[in-house]
Amino acid sequence: MEAPRLAHTMSSPTSPCEEVIKNLSLEAIQLCDRDGNKSQDSGIAEMEELPVPHNIKISNITCDSFKISWDMNSKSKDRITHYFIDLNKKENKNSNKFKHKDVPTKLVAKAVPLPMTVRGHWFLSPRTEYTVAVQTASKQVDGDYVVSEWSEIIEFCTADYSKVHLTQLLEKAEVIAGRMLKLSVFYRNQHKEYFDYTREHHGNAMQPSVKDNSGSHGSPISGKLEGIFFSCNTEFNTGKPPQDSPYGRYRFEIAAEKLFNPNTNLYFGDFYCMYTAYHYVILVIAPVGSPGDEFCKQRLPQLNIKDNKFLTCDEEDGVMVYHHAQDVILEVIYTDPVDLSLGTVAEITGHQLMSLSTANAKKDPSCKTCNISVGR
C-alpha cells in the first residue's frame, strides 16, 4: 500500500500549511535508514544500481529554507523517479534511535531538475545545525521503491531572521504596545561589584558586551551585537523607574537625552515572551555612524525616533520629551561605552526579583502573540 502524503505544494501563501519543497509533491513513506537497514514491511525493493548522489551542495540558506543539489553518474539516471532526503537536527541526530523503525522521518520528493528548494517552517528552524543525506529512488508499478545507497552526510546551519521576518515581529509587537507614558531616565541595575570593576579596570566606562541568546531563536542580534542593556519602563502611578530589579541592588541612572537623541538611530531587535502574560521588546540605540549602527543598519528594521509605538524622543518648546510604551517591557541596548560620570549610581530600596531575569531566556514557541510563521 502506498504510504500517505506528508504535504502538498500550496497555491496560497496564507494556507495553513506552507510548501515543504517548492513545486514538489512530498510523501511520508517507510524508508531505510542511513546504514541501509530496512524494516520488515518497509515496501522498498532490494538495492539496484541507481546512481548515488555525491558532491552535495547546499546554497541559498535562509532561516526556513535552503537549496540542495548534487552530482551523480549518468548510468541508470533516467530510471530515477524520486529523491529521498534525510534531514535531521544535528544536536538531535540520535534522538529517534529508540523509536519504531516504521515511523516515517524522511522527505520524499519527485525527481525534478536540480537545485531544488526545501522549505517548511515545521521542520526547519532558524540558526540551527542540520545534517542531510540523499538517496535516488525508482518507484515500481507495485508501489515498491528501488533505492541507491545513501550519499555522504553534509552539515549546514540555517540563517537568522531577515529584515522581512523582523518586520513581521515588529508589526505584531505594535499591536500590543499600548499607550505611551513619559520617561526621563534610562537605568541599568547590577551588583556593586560590577560598578567597582568598571571604575577600577575600565576607566569608569561601562563596556559593551555580546548579547546573550535570550528571545527569539532567529534574532540576528543574539550572540553577535555588542551593547549595554538599559531599561526605561516606569511605574504607572509614580512615573519613575520601579524599585525592584532582577539584576542587582545597585542602579545606574542617566538622563534620557544623553543616550537617545537626534544623533542616534533606533532599531527594532526582537519581540518575545517567556511563558508569561507580559511581553518584551528589544530596541537598539546606536550613535549615528558607529560600528553598532552599521551592524544594525544591515540587519534590523529602523524606527523613526519621533514616531513609533515603543520609544520616542521629540522636541517640545525647546526641550526633548521622551515616551515609552506602557504594555510591553522594553529592553534597550546602547551600542557604545557609557561613562559612569554621566549619571549616578545608588542602591535601590526594592527587592531583587530573580524570576524576572531574561538572561538566556527561552521564547515560548507556542505563543500566538509573539511568533511568526517561520521556524522558531
Specify whether domain 54-158 bears CATH 3.40.50.300.
Answer: no
Cell 511581553: give the residue.
279
Q: Is 176 helix (H, G, I), strand (E, B) or coil?
A: helix
Is residue 115 reached through a cis peptide bond, with omega within 30 degrees of 0 on the bond before it?
yes
Residue type, 149: E
Q: Which DSSP string do the residues of 7-33 spell out, in sequence order?
A: E---S-TTSSS--SBTT--EE------
**Beta strands of 53-194 (E only): which ranges?**
54-59, 65-71, 82-89, 107-110, 116-119, 129-139, 145-147, 154-157, 180-183, 185-190
- Would you write out the chain's pLDDT as a tens digit for each of its 376 residues? 333 333 322 233 333 333 333 333 333 333 445 554 443 334 444 444 899 999 999 999 999 899 999 999 887 788 899 999 998 888 654 444 433 333 345 788 898 999 999 887 557 889 889 999 999 999 988 888 889 999 999 999 999 999 999 999 999 999 999 999 999 999 999 999 999 999 999 999 999 999 998 889 899 999 999 999 999 998 877 778 887 777 888 999 999 999 999 999 999 999 999 888 889 999 999 999 999 999 999 999 999 999 999 999 998 888 999 999 999 999 999 999 999 999 999 998 866 555 555 666 778 888 899 988 775 4
CB of 329 within 8 A of CB of 246? no
For 229, the grid coordinates are: 542593556
The set of residues, in sequence order, having a beta carbon less than 8 Å from that of 357 and lying 6+ positions away, is 246, 247
Give the DSSP letter of residue 354.
Answer: G
Domain residue extents for the chain: 54-158, 163-347
Of 331, 343, 360, 330, nearest in space to 195 by CA: 343
- Residue 123 CB-half CA count within 13 A: 23
Write out the three cell numbers for 306: 519621533
Query: How many Cα atoms within 13 Å fall on the side-chain side of residue 226?
Result: 11
Neighbours of 314 (CB within 10 A): 13
Instruction: Describe the strand order of the beta sheet including 54-59 as a list of residue ranges.
Output: 54-59, 65-71, 116-119
* DSSP code for 273: -
Q: What one-character DSSP code corresponds to residue 362?
A: B
pLDDT value for 92: 53
